[in-house]
Amino acid sequence: MLSTRPHYMQLPREVIVGDETLSLIGDVCRRLGFSKSAFLITGPQTFSIAGERAVELLQHENIEANYVIVNSRDATMSDVEAIEEKIRRCKPQVVIGIGGGAKIDLAKLCSARLGIPFISIPTTASHDGMASPFASIKGLDRPYSIMAHSPIAVIADTKIIIQAPFRFLASGCGDIIAKFTSTLDWKLAHDRRNEYYAEYTSSLALMSARHVAENAQIIKPGSEEGLRVVLEALVSCGVAMGIAGTSRPCSGSEHLFSHALDIIADKPAMHGEQCGIGTIMMAYLHGIDWRHIRMILETIGAPTRAEDIRVEPEVIVDALVHAAEIRPERYTILNEKKLTHKSAREIAEVTEVI
Ligand SMILES: [Zn+2]
């Protein structure tokens, strides 16, 4: 049955990927009508890597640039409230998030709650949040991301991002490869539960995974060409979520496994690393070529085994068993397979994750 309800899509207006693109921040702000004031959210490290320069560039353009340096590694609701207070006092035209994940998430959520546009300037490429409308905030009643809004612009400076340890980029690839199973889970939810599903959006997310798979050989430390592939794919994933209005195209059973690990493991690994490993096992459950997915991750140098991310085999099994409970409303292959400790262990062993 065709839905007659309006469907709301959010898209970035400008996406700039390339060498030295941070220097364009003043132009971007002016073009978008933010010629008076901006408020930047950054971390202590990212301030020296990019934040300080961004402030200078804006001031050079006579754009008032206030900023806050957030020390905490994770974005929490108390951070959001404290920063909102500062933003309210400065009344900027635009909020700019500069950082890996948490600072972008803070900028995204604070600006959404205050109804101010936001610009995303990632300093790493470790997950697909840089262009998406979703923010990961720790300490809430749920371990997954919440709706905020899409950035009005994304400025991805390859000269800056290439300096981050390669582990971050490999993690980003894991988050992209996850789309091989998240799109299958979304279709499954549509078939079984009549959940909203959009073929176009699903294809866009899947295309990102294929783009990375086809270019796995060139994604290696120091390769700007490889980094561009990953950045393009990450932006497409964010855009897919913005069009869908849900994280569905990009987050399925493999993400539930990663969220479960975040809760169960003493020292969880990076989000994309866990999602990549989850994708191998969920691909097995879906009956698709899990060996091919593992090979892509291995080619890139992303983790494929529990020992690669220093997580005990028992913890992997526990996370598999409890993954479906993380988000009961999100129907995935896990609802069909109903894993026990015995069957979960078998899956992890067959796929050589443990
Ligand atoms: Zn993800």
Q: In the chain, what percentage of residues exceed pLDDT 90?
A: 91
Q: Which of 52, 96, 90, 43 is nearest to 70 (CA)?
A: 43
CA dihedral 198, 204, 210, 214 (to 10 degrees): 160
What are the pLDDT digits (tens) for 84-104?
A: 999 999 999 999 999 988 999
Banded model confidence at residue 1, pLDDT cuts 50, 70, 90: low
Torsion angle defined by CA atoms of residues 151, 174, 273 and 247, in that order, rounded to the nearest 10 degrees: 40
Please state, rounded to an integer, the average pLDDT across all residues of the chain: 95
pLDDT surpasses 90 at 339: yes
Span 242-299, pLDDT tens digits = 999 999 999 999 999 999 999 999 999 999 999 999 999 999 999 999 999 999 999 9
What is the CA 133 to chain-centroid distance, rounded?
Answer: 10
Query: In the structure, what pLDDT confidence band is assigned to residue 2 with cuts at 50, 70 and 90?
Result: low
CA of 65 to the centre of ligand 1 (A): 31
Distance 256 CA to ligand 1 centre (A): 10
Tens-place pLDDT, residues 25-56:
999 999 999 999 999 999 999 999 999 999 99
- Give tens-digit pLDDT for 115-137: 999 999 999 999 999 999 999 88
pTM: 0.95
- Report the separation in Å between the CA atom of 28 and the middle of ligand 1, taken as the mean of its atom positions: 27
**CATH numbers and ranges of domains, the chain:** 14-164 (3.40.50.1970), 181-350 (1.20.1090.10)
CA of 289 to the centre of ligand 1 (A): 21
CA of 136 to the centre of ligand 1 (A): 10
Helix (H) or strand (E) holding 94: strand 94-99
Q: How far is the CA of 64 from the centre of ligand 1 (A)?
A: 34
pLDDT in tens, 178-207: 999 999 999 999 999 999 999 999 999 999
Distance in Å, CA 232 to ligand 1 centroid: 15
Are the CB atoms for 133 and 236 separated by under 8 Å? Answer: no
Location of structure tokens 């409303």: 329
